[in-house]
């Protein structure tokens, strides 16, 4: 059985999450990748070098430039016939596009899967990650979205790249139009791909304290910065810092939670972290149940001391 993975990109390079989706898809059999866009052959060439990919489909058209879901979902449907599975990373891109394709194909979707048991059986989190559900579908066709943090990224191979096949574009739907994209530009690692994440919560008390304590600690570690939903709602940090069920899912080597109580929705976004360090003055805070290292005390004293100690040895 063959899976068609829809590649996410920004017009310049392939999104790292796509490599994680390829790893999941490879457990189901042969893997093909679809690259859609405007003048994106260089991205198709990068996809062709990913280990486990046997074919790349390239669809280029003006109306695919910004990968609007209203335009790309019909493209997926037009290419779906020979595939048992259509897959993408469970990012904003995948969550926007794949349900539309599933609806047009009138087939089931398994969302945010974290494990592949067999050709018909998958594991996905429910109840904010408190329960892992094993789901089975014998449908002839399935749409899948893959939690990137649950799978390793597929590496490049040194063999001959996969063949690139140009496929015809679907007719333009003209149901939506791209207006603008506002992005936060940062020299820090991208939050979902960082090896170390330092996150702040409502316990920091203000946006000024968030910046004064979290930023130096993150700088000393070369880390990405995250935040709890409570901190984002209080405007201590921007929306794209939010870690949790309604934010970004992360699984770094080290996750440092500062002043975060550990609400269920936050734990759902970081529970895949390999090592969790929690700093909180409340010894009964739920975050400590998920922590490998617990520092109980005043974060306004602990964090500066920790930052200073790291700078001395780095």
Confirm whether residue 264 is marked as ligand binding.
Answer: yes
Given a contact cutoff of 8 angstroms between Cβ atoms, the answer to whether 54 and 30 are in contact is: yes
Confirm whether residue 197 is marked as ligand binding.
Answer: no
* Other beta carbons within 10 Å of 53: 24
Cβ neighbors of 230 (< 8 A, separation 6 or more) are: 201, 202, 261, 263
Residue 248 pairs in a beta bridge with 243
| Residues belonging to the chain | 314
Work out the burial of residue 177: count CB atoms within 10 Å of its CB; fewer than 13 is exposed, 13-18 middle, 19 or more buried: exposed
Confirm whether residue 263 is marked as ligand binding.
Answer: yes
* Domains 2-166 and 196-313 belong to one CATH topology: yes
Q: Is the pTM value of this prediction over 0.75?
A: yes
Q: Is 158 left (phi over 0), alpha (psi -120 to 50) or beta?
A: alpha
Residue 278 pLDDT greater than 70, yes or no: yes
Q: Match 């939506």 to its residue by tokens.
A: 176
Q: What does the pLDDT look like over 15-32, one tens digit per residue?
A: 999 999 999 999 999 999
Given a contact cutoff of 8 angstroms between Cβ atoms, the answer to whether 214 and 186 are in contact is: no
Residue 286 pLDDT greater than 90, yes or no: yes
Architecture of the domain made up of 2-166: 3-Layer(aba) Sandwich (3.40)
pLDDT the model gives residue 184: 65
pLDDT the model gives residue 243: 95
pLDDT the model gives residue 155: 93
Confirm whether residue 259 is marked as ligand binding.
Answer: yes
Confirm whether residue 261 is marked as ligand binding.
Answer: yes
Phi, psi of 305 (to 5 degrees): -65, -40
**What are the domain boundaries of the chain?**
2-166, 196-313
Given a contact cutoff of 8 angstroms between Cβ atoms, the answer to whether 72 and 97 are in contact is: yes
Residue 115 pLDDT greater than 70, yes or no: yes
Confirm whether residue 202 is marked as ligand binding.
Answer: yes
Confirm whether residue 119 is marked as ligand binding.
Answer: no
Give the whole-angstrom CA distance, residue 60 versus residue 227.
Answer: 38
Confirm whether residue 19 is marked as ligand binding.
Answer: no
pLDDT the model gives residue 53: 96
User: Is the CATH number 3.40.50.1220 carried by domain 196-313?
Assistant: yes
Give the whole-angstrom CA distance, residue 83 versus residue 81.
Answer: 6
Confirm whether residue 167 is marked as ligand binding.
Answer: no
Residue 132 pairs in a beta bridge with 125
Cβ neighbors of 148 (< 8 A, separation 6 or more) are: 16, 17, 20, 21, 89, 90, 91, 192, 249
**In 3-state terms, what secondary structure has residue 30?**
strand
Confirm whether residue 246 is marked as ligand binding.
Answer: yes
Give the whole-angstrom CA distance, residue 204 versus residue 79.
Answer: 50
């Amino acid at each position: 059985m063959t899976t068609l993975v829809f590649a996410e990109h920004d017009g310049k390079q392939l999104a790292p999450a796509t490599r994680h989706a390829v790893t999941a898809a490879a457990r189901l059999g042969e893997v093909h990748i679809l690259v859609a866009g405007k003048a994106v052959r260089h991205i198709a060439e990068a996809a062709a070098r990913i280990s486990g990919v046997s074919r790349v489909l390239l669809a280029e058209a003006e109306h695919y430039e910004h990968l609007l879901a209203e335009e790309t979902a019909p493209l997926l449907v037009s290419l779906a016939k020979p595939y048992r599975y259509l897959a993408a990373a469970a990012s904003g891109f995948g969550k926007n596009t794949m349900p539309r394709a599933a609806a047009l194909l009138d087939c089931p979707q398994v969302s945010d899967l974290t494990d592949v048991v067999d050709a018909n059986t998958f594991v996905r989190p429910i109840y904010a990650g408190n329960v892992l559900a094993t789901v089975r579908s014998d449908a002839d066709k399935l749409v899948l979205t893959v939690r990137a943090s649950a799978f390793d990224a597929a590496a490049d191979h040194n063999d001959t790249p996969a063949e690139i096949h140009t496929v015809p574009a679907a007719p333009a739907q003209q149901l939506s139009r791209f207006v603008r994209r506002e992005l936060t530009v940062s020299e820090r690692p991208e939050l979902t791909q960082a090896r170390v994440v330092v996150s702040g919560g409502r316990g920091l008390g203000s946006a000024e304290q968030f910046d004064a304590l979290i930023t130096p600690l993150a700088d000393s570690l070369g880390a990405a910065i995250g935040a709890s939903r409570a901190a984002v709602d209080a405007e201590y940090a921007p929306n794209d810092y939010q870690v949790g069920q309604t934010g970004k899912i992360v699984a770094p080597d080290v996750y440092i939670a500062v002043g975060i109580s550990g609400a269920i929705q936050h734990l759902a976004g970081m529970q895949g972290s390999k090592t969790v360090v929690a700093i909180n003055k409340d010894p009964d805070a739920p975050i400590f149940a998920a922590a490998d290292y617990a520092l109980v005390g005043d974060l306004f004293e602990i964090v500066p001391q920790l930052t200073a100690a790291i700078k001395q040895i780095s």
